[in-house]
Amino acid sequence: MDSQHCKMNGDAFQESSYIEDSPSKNGVISLIFSLKEEVGALAKVLRTFEEKGINLTHIESRPSRLNKDEYEFFINLEGKNVPALDKIIKSLRTDIGATVHELSRTKKKDTVPWFPRSIQELDRFANQILSYGAELDADHPGFKDPVYRARRKEFADIAYNYRHGQPIPRVTYTEEEKKTWGTVFRELKSLYPTHACYEHNHVFPLLEKYCGYREDNIPQLEDVSNFLQSCTGFRLRPVAGLLSSRDFLAGLAFRVFHSTQYIRHASKPMYTPEPDICHELLGHVPLFADPSFAQFSQEIGLASLGAPDDFIEKLATVYWFTVEFGLCKEGDSLKAYGAGLLSSFGELQYCLSDKPEIRPLALEKTSVQEYCVTEFQPIYYVAESFKDAKEKLRKFAQTIPRPFSVRYNPYTQRIEVLDNAKQLKNLADTINSEIGILCNALQKIK
């Protein structure tokens, strides 16, 4: 792609345009690499491929948006000689100083699965759902209710047409829907003072004050999302159905939570076989407004980027036993912080009884623990604190086999891949600046 076309697109041009929607053509591997703008730089790279007998089938270029003195190149090449390709990639990084990323959405050996690099790229998989919102299983309470099924399709269509940066469409909930919400809201709120963790109980009154959390009102996702952004930078995004674990966790890396907007069937207000707006707003949202928990959730997402499939499964299991069904210590007591508990009247009481087995959070064991999705959990894991959980997660993330580290830049809302000296120097400069601010502040409060 030439620079003229890039200029025509301006700032709206996204790096995702470099990634083909179907990059899994037989024997084709895609790379992105950046080079300093100097005479002979590209020729040197192309000569390296030629000497190793690797054929390029496609090449595009554009000025780098991150470094003004660099150009970025996207290439497709034949993947017949993988050992030679590995040597070339290593040479590009060490000898030439190029930043290289291998792109793949397939399960090819020794390749890194595709992951979003900018928050706009969440649009690419937001509708790659495992089940559409209007498709209900035969045992779903609303399966035989045509009115409910039609209503579910309305919510699914809203999410399906949503794009990043747009306000989340407001919904006029019916009286029956508000009555269902009211029943759930009233019953759960009566348990929160004695069963929910401090962080949840601290935030809940703020949601009542600023987001319309009331027994007779279902809050709007847009209002709640704006509130979360002002607290921790988290935001909500409507989703039409269940996402894969990889895609859902990738959203957390950007502090984006994919949220349903529909509500459970009125015939069983205290039961839902799937996440609904009661689960999202009463279970998840209060904790996403807490800085420490928000960081923990984001780090699960960051750990998932580019991770192999088996580690995605482990991270999803960690998410299940923490963000969904986690317990934590508060003094000599146990409290619930998992959204699956905080949105279930029955399980919130059960989890703090003497019936389930309670184990300390140990991610090497927690990540491989089997769990049930249709009944109360027989086992719960207890975190000493969110800080302790974060430290354990960071150690666990270091065991994930990927050839780079990642960092989220909140100013550009992009994922920075830390795989070369220049990236590490930029990070060190940022950290040094923050430490300077910290030292200056400490001097002033002495």
Active site (catalytic) residues: 279, 284, 324, 343
Instruction: Tell how far CA 18 is from the center of its chain.
Output: 22
185 closest CA partner among 121, 276, 120, 260: 276
Nearest CA among 398, 420, 416 for reference residue 408: 416
Q: Which of 265, 314, 323 is nearest to 148 (CA)?
A: 265
Q: Two tokens at 196?
A: 């929910």
Tell me the β-bridge partners of 329: 334
∠ at Cα 111 (109, 115), nearest 5°? Answer: 135
Q: Residue 168, class by beta-carbon neighbours within 10 Å (0-12 exposed, 13-18 middle, 19+ buried)? A: buried
Q: What is the C-alpha separation between 353 and 265, in angstroms, rounded? A: 28
Nearest one of 423, 416, 403, 242 to 308, comparing CA atoms: 403
Helix (H) or strand (E) holding 31: strand 28-36
d(CA 238, CA 265): 19
Residue 259 near residue 162 (C-beta atoms within 8 A): no
What is the pairing mode between strands 235-238 and 256-259?
A: parallel
Under a CB-based contact definition with an 8 Å cutoff, are residues 251 and 271 in contact?
no
Whether 20 and 41 have beta carbons less than 8 Å apart is answered as no
Contact criterion met (CB below 8 Å) for 196 and 344:
no
Q: What's the CA gap between 319 and 322, in Å, rounded?
A: 5
| 32 bridge partner residues | 74, 101
The 8-class DSSP code of residue 356 comes to S
Place of tokens 């002979």: 40
> Cα-Cα-Cα-Cα dihedral of 128, 131, 133, 138, to 10°?
170
* Whether 380 contacts 325, CB under 8 Å: yes
Residue 417, helix vs strand vs coil: strand
The answer to whether the beta carbons of residues 414 and 119 sit under 8 Å apart is: yes
Give start and end residues of each alpha helix (H) in 357-415: 363-366, 386-397
**Secondary structure (3-state) at 94:** helix
